[in-house]
């Protein structure tokens, strides 16, 4: 699924093909000598059900936990407006090889013309802990720049 989005890629990040990741957008921030390449992903999901944004964020944690050796939710907070609620969550991930990563997820609701048209964007930034702290301001600017394009007078 694709969605007409506008956003600004932070300095130092390079867009790459999403491949079979399930994401509609992927960017990487290569750091010479680093074991893990930090990445930003954008995924879009149609959610015609009445699941709350908190439930959707919890589903993302559950889905991710099935592929990792360990996962801790460090924080979760509500963002957005009542008409378009969102959730941010900070996760500590541990791979099967023992690598520790930090992932910041932002789940945003895009209301549709009808409840069946509701979409949820998942924006995520994954990096090693030291890199995550350094890259956080750029990811925050990226999230703040995301806009859904309007089409011929019709809200999307």
Residue 6 lies in a domain: no
Residue 17 lies in a domain: no
| Number of structural domains the chain divides into | 1
Determine the structural domain holding residue 136 and report its residue range: 23-147
pLDDT bin (cut points 50, 70, 90) of residue 151 is low
Q: Answer whether residue 150 shows pLDDT above 70.
A: no
> Maximum distance among all alpha carbons in the chain?
51
Q: Answer whether residue 153 shows pLDDT above 50.
A: no
Residue 112 lies in a domain: yes
- Per-residue confidence (pLDDT) for residue 32, from 0 to 100: 83
The per-residue pLDDT for range 11-34, each reduced to its tens digit, is 999 999 999 988 999 999 998 888
pTM of the model: 0.91
Distance CA 40, CA 11 (A): 13
């Amino acid at each position: 699924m694709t969605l007409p989005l506008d956003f600004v890629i932070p300095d130092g990040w390079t867009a790459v093909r999403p491949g079979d990741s399930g994401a509609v957008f992927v960017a990487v921030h290569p750091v010479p000598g680093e074991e893990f390449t930090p990445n930003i992903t954008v995924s879009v999901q149609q959610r015609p059900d009445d699941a709350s944004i908190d439930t959707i964020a919890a589903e993302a944690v559950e889905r991710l936990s099935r592929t990792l050796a360990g996962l801790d939710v460090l924080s979760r907070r509500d963002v957005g407006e009542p008409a378009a609620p969102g959730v941010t969550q900070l996760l500590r991930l541990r791979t099967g090889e023992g690598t520790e990563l930090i992932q910041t997820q932002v789940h945003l609701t895009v209301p549709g013309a009808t409840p069946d048209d509701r979409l949820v964007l998942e924006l995520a930034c994954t990096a090693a802990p030291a890199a995550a702290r350094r890259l956080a301001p750029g990811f925050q600017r990226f999230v703040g720049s995301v806009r859904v394009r309007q089409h011929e007078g019709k809200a999307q």
